[in-house]
Structure 1
Amino acid sequence: MDSERRMDPALYKAATQGKVASLKQLVDPENPSVLSSTTPQLNTALHLAAVHGHAAFAGEVLDRDEELLVAKNDDGDTPLHLAAKAGKLEVAQLLISRAIAWPLDQKSPLIMTNKAGNTALHEAVKSRRAAVAEALLDADPSRAYDLNEQMESPLHMAAREGLVHVVRKIFDFTWVEAEYVPSVAVSGTALHQAVLGGHTKIVDMMLEKHSWLLEQTDSDGNNALHYAAQKNNAQVVELLLTKQAQLAYKPNRERQSPLHVAAHYGSTASIRALLRHCPDVAEMADTSGRNALHVSVVSGKTNALRCLLRHVRPSELLNRVDNEGDTPLHLAARMSRVQSALLLLNDRRVDPCVRDRDGQTARSLVEMKLRTGEMDAYEMYLWKELKQQESKRCRKQQLPPLAPYPGRRASNEKYFECIIETYILVATLIATVTFAAMFSVPGGYGDDGVAVLSRNAGFKIFVISNTVAMCSSIVVVFCFIWAWKDPVRFKVDQLLWGHRLTVIACLAMLVSLMTAVFITVAPESRWPAYVVIVIGMSTPAVVFLMLGKEVIFVPM
């Protein structure tokens, strides 16, 4: 930048602080060229006054050099853009009044765009500056439909941001349907954007004025209900279904209904609302022949699957095959969706005997991993459950042969050895500590060899919990010693129980700790005893919060 174009620090200070007197001293009325100087970001004094909200200073600058009204900085922003972004209403009103009087043969600041293709109205709405946006709309309401580089109009933005008064003002002006252009880059119309934002009031207002907006879709064929189902907004789903229940049956280009979308995203509230209004929508299948149950399994959304199982009644939907011949249970087995598979198995309507096009059941699909040694403990547990269900419910049907337990080579020996050693070490330590605790009981023993606190209720709890911890750990030690004989069978039949017994032993140790502290410390000082009890009781809760339901499964 040339030195003659660089802004004087005194002018910069005057513009940011709005000092009109300083401006008059710095600018020669006969030669206002000093006002054309800029900062490194190409901001003029008018830009600075606009962003800081100094209307009097801005008016004085414009009186001296009106061309600065259309000057752009390095981002392509005019002073009006910056006033709109900052929400400086007084300055914005001044600049708007000057823009309205701008010569017709020159481009108005109201329609000038920055490098993002945004007008001042775009920026005002994007920054949630409702008052400035309304002032800009009063000046030129047609700017509400201008599209930026992302194919977004101010109407789209206002609907998404929940600016009720701005949207109402736009809709109060004459609506020219031919000017309506749906947004492609942001996937949806203004109604879609209002639904995405979860703004029920705006959605209702739009549909009251223009109900035909319900027929509009995005570039993928999704209607507004698809979007509401995705965002799990039951209130908006209810509103849209009340306006037009047929929306639930209108598929997108992949032939996915709103229920498919809700299942894919795990939107349980939307699933309940859709099935309450249109229970037969569960019968709809997409281009792959999959219903919502299939979709929830593929996406791994067990909460959606659980919700569907509770609200979908016909059993044939639970056993429906897709274009590849797979039921939801087949997909869960093939994709190792263990939790989804177990949910399906727990529902008596699900048939584990169904065979796919290759003659495979869900059990035989899981066995394919068993043969290659790629199966983990969760899948082995699932395999066991599938075998049990087949033996109970498929006795009169022809099924693929059961695979034998594979030999040692099929297991991951290195990892298996590590986990077995860990469990044995933990169980041994628990057994040792609890055994020692029985010979150094709280309060000690009397001269007659009887525990001093033997009649105390807390002492009895200590003895029982300590015994439970010791015996549980002993069982784990002995069971895991035999794990080497047949590792795979052990993984399926005993590893999960060994893990749970270890958890029980740890919990019993906590109980014995709390009772031992309480009966020995509480008689003299109660608050330390209570603190220990609180810490002890919170320990399992912390573990469960960190690991969730995984805590009851083997970490393999």
Structure 2
Amino acid sequence: MDPALYKAATQGKVARLNQLVDPEDPSILSSTTPQLNTALHLAAAHGHAAFADEVLDKDEELLVARNDDGDTPLHLAAKAGKLEVAELLVSRALAWPQDKKSPLVMTNKVGNTALHEAVRNRRGAVAVALLDADPGRAYDLNEQMESPLHMAAREGLVHVVRKIFDFTWVEAEYVPSVAVSGTALHQAVLGGHTSNASCFFAVEIVDIMVEKHIWLLDLTDSDGNNALHYAAQKNNSQVVELLLNKQAQLAYKPNGERQSPLHVAAHYGSTAVIKAMLRHCPDVAEMVDIHGRNALHVSVTSGKTNALRYLLRHIRPAELLNRVDGNGDTPLHIAAKMSRVQSALLLLNDRRVELCVRDRDGQTARSLVEIKLHTGEMDAYEMYLWKQLKQQESKRCRKQQLPPLAPYPSRRASNDKYFECIVETYILVATLIATVTFAATSSVPGGYHDDGIAVHSNNIAFHIFIISNTVAMCSSIVVVFCFIWAWQDPVRFKVDQLLWGHRLTVIACLAMLVSLMTAVYITIAPESRWPAYVVIVIGMSTPAVVFLMLGKEVIFVPM
């Protein structure tokens, strides 16, 4: 393309255009950029309506010119949201000869019309202008089998969806595809999960659709999922409330895998949806999928402990907690087999859960966890779980015949390559803490009087310093002695003492932080308070930062 024409098109200079184009030979307008964009494409993308109008007066065939992506100028105006240019191109398209393909129906290389592009890029005003020109385009399917209605519903464009539904509804049969799951109603549900605003728009769009056509609730995707399954997946409780108020039976309609919406909510950890469903339909918890699993089984399998916690809190019948699936496993058996330690502990703490139930192989949850003990694959979390299961089983299953309790394996059975490194690390850390705290005791903040009494002995902060320093030193000494004996029986040590050693090390570190803060306060606060307060704030934030980074794992051994 002529650089002068390119510059005039991108800047919208009509006078310069007239200078460049020969009225007798407008062929210069047929020149393109490397991406095959004409001057009209450029003017449309930059929103220069007057320039575009002048170009079309000189060569109206450019209205249907395509660039390398198959986009017409109307596609680019729709993508960029240039309303004035879009309205000009639409008016020209409406006057286009009927024996020629209109720009309103032309598609690019991915099968999108201009309306598809306007909606996909959230250009609501342009989309409305295109709908006013040709409402039927709202149901055109692209190569991914998405219509503009699908996109508008998913993007939360309420006014566009309302505009589409104001026209005659096209009862097109749903065509399943890889890229799109479900109907436009499903897409509306999917769109409302990224923020509170999008949830609000999703509720409004779903309400518009259902009010116009209640039968949309009966439509499913190719896997048999209804709109409530989708809302459960995205934890959209507001939409769930709306759908259940419209048709409560949706909660009982299974998909192709016989999963209820509650199963889906449990799989994705959608606690807000679980709450809404159990409030509206409490007996939906009895439903089982194609594998005989209820929502409790599913929440354990997926590792969603928050969902399991809520289900345990709101499901009353004990038989649901101990129901066996198609493989003969209760939720606790699954937790033990899959090493879902947190889920297993939640179930263990519920007195309704029966620990004595055996699976088809005659194993209890305790014996399932125990299997890993002899292979040397048991980590610190599983060791803690095994210990808890043993204790609870001995209390709650005294009259039951159970698999024999396995003894600790021989010392040679421990082949954990990280064990030696971990023990040495803990001994080193504990020794350093003991050394530092002992040194701090010898040179207390403020020093001593001539009679050997500490200068700040009557200060409350000094009392806190002494106590915290003593806690740090004694905790570290206990850790040192415990870990010295680790080699006596590594397996027993990992099960019974390693976790306590780790927690004592954590306590020693926290106590050392308290010692630091009180020492600084004692020595600096009398002269300059703000540095002392800054140190205290930093010290208090340190455990919070560690917990933020590691979460609950901070209380477990990193094995």
TM-score bracket, normalised by the shorter chain, equals over 0.9
- The equivalent of 1:356 in structure 2 is 359
- Aligned amino acid, residue 17 of structure 1: Q
- The equivalent of 2:87 in structure 1 is 93
Q: Give runs of aligned pairs for residues 367-516 of structure 1, distance below 5 A.
A: 367-516=370-519
- TM-score normalised according to structure 2 size: 0.97
Q: Secondary structure at the match of 1:225?
A: helix
Q: Distance in 2 between matches of 1:168 and 1:38?
A: 39
Q: Give runs of aligned pairs for residues 250-399 of structure 1, distance below 5 A.
A: 250-399=253-402
Q: Distance in 1 between matches of 2:416 and 2:135?
A: 73
Work out whether residues 465 and 512 of structure 1, in 8 Å CA contact, stay in contact via their aligned partners in 2. yes
Q: Distance in 1 between matches of 2:128 and 2:167?
A: 12
How far off is 1:455 after superposition?
0.9
- The equivalent of 2:181 in structure 1 is 187
Work out whether residues 139 and 170 of structure 2, in 8 Å CA contact, stay in contact via their aligned partners in 1. no
How far off is 1:50 after superposition?
0.6
Q: Distance in 2 between matches of 1:457 and 1:437?
A: 17
Q: 2:134 aligns with which of 118, 126, 140?
A: 140
Per-residue CA deviations over 1:135-173 (Å, capped at 9, x if unaligned) read: 111111110000001100000001111111111111011
Work out whether residues 152 and 183 of structure 1, in 8 Å CA contact, stay in contact via their aligned partners in 2. no
How far off is 1:513 after superposition?
1.0
Work out whether residues 291 and 326 of structure 2, in 8 Å CA contact, stay in contact via their aligned partners in 1. yes
Change (3 A) 1:176 1:413: closer
Q: Distance in 1 between matches of 2:298 and 2:425?
A: 39
- Aligned amino acid, residue 538 of structure 1: S
How far off is 1:176 after superposition?
3.0
Change (3 A) 1:358 1:413: closer
- The alignment status of 1:243 with 2:246, answered yes or no, reads yes
- The alignment status of 1:126 with 2:129, answered yes or no, reads no
Per-residue CA deviations over 1:446-467 (Å, capped at 9, x if unaligned) read: 1111111111111111111111
Q: Distance in 1 between matches of 2:417 and 2:312?
A: 40
- Aligned amino acid, residue 436 of structure 2: V
- The equivalent of 2:102 in structure 1 is 108
- The alignment status of 1:205 with 2:200, answered yes or no, reads no
How far off is 1:180 after superposition?
4.7
How far off is 1:527 after superposition?
1.1
- Aligned amino acid, residue 194 of structure 1: A
Gaps of 5+ in 2: 193-201
How far off is 1:359 after superposition?
0.5
- The equivalent of 1:528 in structure 2 is 531
How far off is 1:485 after superposition?
0.8
Aligned residues: 549
Q: Distance in 1 between matches of 2:176 and 2:115?
A: 17
How far off is 1:59 after superposition?
0.9
- The equivalent of 1:45 in structure 2 is 39
Work out whether residues 302 and 339 of structure 1, in 8 Å CA contact, stay in contact via their aligned partners in 2. yes
How far off is 1:227 after superposition?
0.6
How far off is 1:409 after superposition?
2.7
Q: Distance in 1 between matches of 2:213 and 2:8?
A: 50
Q: Distance in 2 between matches of 1:439 and 1:21?
A: 90
Q: 1:21 aligns with which of 10, 15, 22?
A: 15
TM-align CA RMSD:
0.9
Q: Give runs of aligned pairs for residues 1-80 of structure 1, distance below 5 A.
A: 7-80=1-74
How far off is 1:412 after superposition?
2.9
Work out whether residues 288 and 322 of structure 1, in 8 Å CA contact, stay in contact via their aligned partners in 2. yes
Work out whether residues 203 and 239 of structure 2, in 8 Å CA contact, stay in contact via their aligned partners in 1. yes
- Aligned amino acid, residue 241 of structure 1: L
- Aligned amino acid, residue 174 of structure 2: V
Q: Distance in 1 between matches of 2:417 and 2:81?
A: 64
Q: Secondary structure at the match of 2:361?
A: coil
How far off is 1:408 after superposition?
2.2
- The alignment status of 1:170 with 2:170, answered yes or no, reads no
Q: Distance in 2 between matches of 1:440 and 1:107?
A: 92
Work out whether residues 376 and 415 of structure 2, in 8 Å CA contact, stay in contact via their aligned partners in 1. yes
- Aligned amino acid, residue 136 of structure 2: S
Work out whether residues 145 and 180 of structure 1, in 8 Å CA contact, stay in contact via their aligned partners in 2. no
Work out whether residues 263 and 305 of structure 1, in 8 Å CA contact, stay in contact via their aligned partners in 2. yes
Q: Distance in 2 between matches of 1:516 and 1:327?
A: 55
Per-residue CA deviations over 1:180-215 (Å, capped at 9, x if unaligned) read: 535533111100011111210000011000000000
Q: Distance in 2 between matches of 1:450 and 1:83?
A: 85
Work out whether residues 116 and 149 of structure 1, in 8 Å CA contact, stay in contact via their aligned partners in 2. yes
Work out whether residues 191 and 224 of structure 1, in 8 Å CA contact, stay in contact via their aligned partners in 2. yes
Work out whether residues 182 and 190 of structure 1, in 8 Å CA contact, stay in contact via their aligned partners in 2. no
Q: Distance in 2 between matches of 1:204 and 1:259?
A: 22
- Aligned amino acid, residue 32 of structure 1: P
Per-residue CA deviations over 1:289-346 (Å, capped at 9, x if unaligned) read: 1111111111111111111111111110010000000000000000001111001101
Work out whether residues 373 and 409 of structure 1, in 8 Å CA contact, stay in contact via their aligned partners in 2. no
How far off is 1:52 after superposition?
0.8
Q: Distance in 2 between matches of 1:160 and 1:133?
A: 15
Q: How many percent identity over aligned positions?
A: 87
- The alignment status of 1:517 with 2:520, answered yes or no, reads yes
Per-residue CA deviations over 1:395-420 (Å, capped at 9, x if unaligned) read: 11111111110112322343111111
- The alignment status of 1:149 with 2:143, answered yes or no, reads yes
Q: Distance in 2 between matches of 1:471 and 1:40?
A: 76
How far off is 1:64 after superposition?
1.0
- Aligned amino acid, residue 81 of structure 1: H
- TM-score normalised according to structure 1 size: 0.98
- Aligned amino acid, residue 112 of structure 2: N
Q: Give runs of aligned pairs for residues 222-241 of structure 1, distance below 5 A.
A: 222-241=225-244
- The equivalent of 1:3 in structure 2 is none
Per-residue CA deviations over 1:239-263 (Å, capped at 9, x if unaligned) read: 0000000000001101111111001
Q: Distance in 1 between matches of 2:252 and 2:145?
A: 28
